C-alpha cells in the first residue's frame, strides 16, 4: 500500500512538472523515460494517463501558438529535423533576417507537437496495454503531417514504421520476462498494426508518396499472411487493403494490377450490408473503365518474373500471377458485374470481348 501511495504521489508530481515544462521536450522525454521504467509492468494505466495528459496539454499549447502564423506560411516551413535556418549562409538565402527569424519561430512551434508525438509513439509502441494510445497518437501524427503538408517528416515517419515491423519480425522475445510486450502472432495486435499501416498508406497517397504507400502495403501483406495467426482478418480491413493497392497501381500506371486489386476490393465491398446499390454500381463502372484503360502492351508485360511474383505475393494466401486484361474481363463477366454497369460501358466490354475472340482465332491458325 505504501508503494502504491508513493507511486501515485510521483504520478501527481510528474503531471504538475509537465505543465510547467511543456515547451522543454528534452526534459519531458527524460522524465517520461524514468516514469516508464517505474510503471510499465504493473502500472500501465498510470503511464497511459500521463501520456494522454502530456499529449492534450501540448496540443492546446500548439493550437495557441500556431494561430499567430499564416497557414500557407506554416506549410512552406522547412523540414523540422533539418539544421536550423539560422545556421545557413545568409548570403545564399533569399530571406531577410526578419523572415529567417520568423521561419525559426514557426519551426520551433511545429517542433513542439512533432517531438511530443514521436516521443509518445516511441514510448508505447511495444506495450500491449498501451495499444490504444499508440493508435491515437499515430493518427494525430498523420493528421499533423497532412494538415501542414509535412512531406519530409511523413517520409521519415513511414520509414520508421517499416523499420519497426522489421525489428518485430527479428526479435526473439521472452514473454515470461516481458509480459507486456506485443506479439505479432496475437490477432488483435496484428489487426491494429495493419490498421496503423492502412492509415499511413492513406496519408502517403494524400501527399502523392506512392512508393512509400506501396511499402506500407507490402508490410500489410506480411501481416495478413502470417501463418501462425489463424483468426480471419476482418472484411473491412481486406477491402481497404485491396482498395489502396489499386490506388497505388493506378497512379503508377499499372492498370492491369489496378483493375485486379480493385476487383477484389469490390467483391468484398459489395458484401457490406451498409453499401448501397448506387455505391456498388459506381465502383463497378470505375472497375470496367479501369480495365478499358489497360493498353495493348501494358507495363506489366515488361516486368521481370521476379517482379511479377512480388506483386502476386500481395494477395491473401495466393501466389498466382496477376491475370491479364482478357482474363480480368472474363472474371467480371462470370461474376455478372458487367450487368450492373452503364449501357455505354457494357458495349465497350462486349467490343473488347469480340476483339479478343477474333485475336484468339487468328492465333489458333
Q: Per residue in 99-125, pLDDT tens? A: 888 999 999 999 999 999 999 999 899
pLDDT given at position 11: 59
Cell of 298: 501494358
Are residues 105 and 12 part of one domain? yes
Are residues 42 and 105 part of one domain? yes
User: Number of C-alpha atoms within 13 angstroms, CB side, residue 263?
Assistant: 27
| Domain assignment present for 86 | no
Are residues 136 and 253 part of one domain? no
Are residues 174 and 66 part of one domain? no
Other beta carbons less than 10 A from residue 266's beta carbon: 23
Q: Give the H/E segment covering residue 336.
A: none
Kindly calculate the radius of gyration of the chain based on its CA atoms and give it in whole angstroms. 25
Are residues 17 and 122 part of one domain? yes
* Distance of alpha carbon 154 from alpha carbon 215, whole angstroms: 13
Other beta carbons less than 10 A from residue 249's beta carbon: 26
Of 233, 262, 284, the position where a domain reaches its end is 233
| Domain assignment present for 71 | yes
| Domain assignment present for 156 | no
| Domain assignment present for 160 | no
Are residues 1 and 145 part of one domain? yes
- For 181, list phi and psi in degrees, rounded to 5: -75, 140
Structural domain total, the chain: 3
Are residues 142 and 191 part of one domain? no
* Distance of alpha carbon 243 from alpha carbon 269, whole angstroms: 10
* Distance of alpha carbon 349 from alpha carbon 158, whole angstroms: 40
| Domain assignment present for 200 | yes
The one-character DSSP state at 294 is -
In terms of Cα–Cα distance, which of 239, 39, 78, 161 is closest to 87?
A: 78
Are residues 256 and 227 part of one domain? no
> pLDDT tens for residues 224-241?
999 888 899 999 999 999
Are residues 129 and 5 part of one domain? yes
Are residues 250 and 223 part of one domain? no
Domain membership of residue 126 as a residue range: 1-81+96-149
- Which stretches in the chain have pLDDT values below 70? 1-25, 31, 33-42, 83-93, 338, 340-365
pLDDT given at position 67: 94
pLDDT given at position 17: 63
Other beta carbons less than 10 A from residue 357's beta carbon: 11
| Domain assignment present for 56 | yes
| Domain assignment present for 218 | yes
Are residues 101 and 219 part of one domain? no
| Domain assignment present for 343 | yes
What DSSP line would sit under 60-104, residue for residue? HHHHHHHTTS-HHHHHTPPPTTSPPGGGS-GGG-SS-HHHHHHHH
pLDDT given at position 22: 55
* Distance of alpha carbon 139 from alpha carbon 117, whole angstroms: 10
Are residues 290 and 218 part of one domain? no
Amino acid at each position: 500500500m505504501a508503494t502504491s501511495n508513493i507511486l501515485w504521489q510521483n504520478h501527481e508530481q510528474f503531471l504538475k512538472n509537465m505543465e510547467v515544462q511543456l515547451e522543454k521536450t528534452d526534459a519531458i522525454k527524460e522524465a517520461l523515460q524514468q516514469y516508464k521504467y517505474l510503471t510499465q509492468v504493473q502500472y500501465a494505466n498510470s503511464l497511459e494517463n500521463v501520456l494522454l495528459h502530456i499529449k492534450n496539454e501540448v496540443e492546446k499549447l500548439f493550437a495557441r501558438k500556431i494561430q499567430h502564423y499564416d497557414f500557407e506560411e506554416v506549410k512552406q516551413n522547412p523540414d523540422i529535423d533539418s539544421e536550423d535556418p539560422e545556421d545557413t549562409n545568409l548570403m545564399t538565402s533569399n530571406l531577410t533576417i526578419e523572415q529567417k527569424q520568423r521561419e525559426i519561430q514557426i519551426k520551433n512551434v511545429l517542433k513542439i507537437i512533432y517531438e511530443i508525438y514521436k516521443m509518445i509513439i516511441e514510448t508505447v509502441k511495444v506495450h500491449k496495454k498501451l495499444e490504444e494510445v499508440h493508435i491515437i497518437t499515430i493518427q494525430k501524427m498523420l493528421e499533423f503531417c497532412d494538415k501542414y503538408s509535412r512531406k519530409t517528416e511523413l517520409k521519415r515517419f513511414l520509414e520508421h514504421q517499416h523499420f519497426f515491423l522489421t525489428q518485430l519480425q527479428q526479435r526473439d522475445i521472452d514473454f515470461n520476462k516481458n509480459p507486456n510486450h506485443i506479439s505479432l502472432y496475437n490477432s488483435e495486435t496484428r489487426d491494429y498494426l495493419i490498421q496503423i499501416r492502412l492509415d499511413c498508406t492513406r496519408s502517403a497517397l494524400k501527399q502523392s508518396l506512392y512508393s512509400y504507400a506501396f511499402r506500407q502495403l507490402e508490410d500489410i501483406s506480411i501481416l495478413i499472411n502470417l501463418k501462425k495467426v489463424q483468426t480471419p482478418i476482418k472484411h473491412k480491413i481486406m477491402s481497404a487493403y485491396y482498395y489502396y493497392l489499386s490506388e497505388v497501381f493506378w497512379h503508377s500506371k499499372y492498370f492491369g494490377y489496378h483493375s485486379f486489386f480493385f476487383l477484389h476490393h469490390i467483391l468484398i465491398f459489395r458484401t457490406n450490408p451498409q453499401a448501397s446499390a448506387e455505391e456498388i454500381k459506381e465502383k463497378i463502372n470505375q472497375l470496367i473503365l479501369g480495365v478499358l484503360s489497360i493498353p495493348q502492351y501494358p507495363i506489366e508485360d515488361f516486368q521481370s518474373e521476379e517482379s511479377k511474383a512480388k506483386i502476386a505475393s500481395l494477395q491473401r494466401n495466393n501466389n498466382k500471377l496477376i491475370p491479364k486484361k482478357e482474363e480480368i474481363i472474363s472474371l467480371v463477366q462470370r461474376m455478372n458485374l458487367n450487368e450492373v454497369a452503364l449501357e455505354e460501358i457494357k458495349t465497350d466490354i462486349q467490343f473488347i470481348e469480340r476483339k479478343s475472340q477474333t485475336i484468339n482465332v487468328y492465333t489458333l491458325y
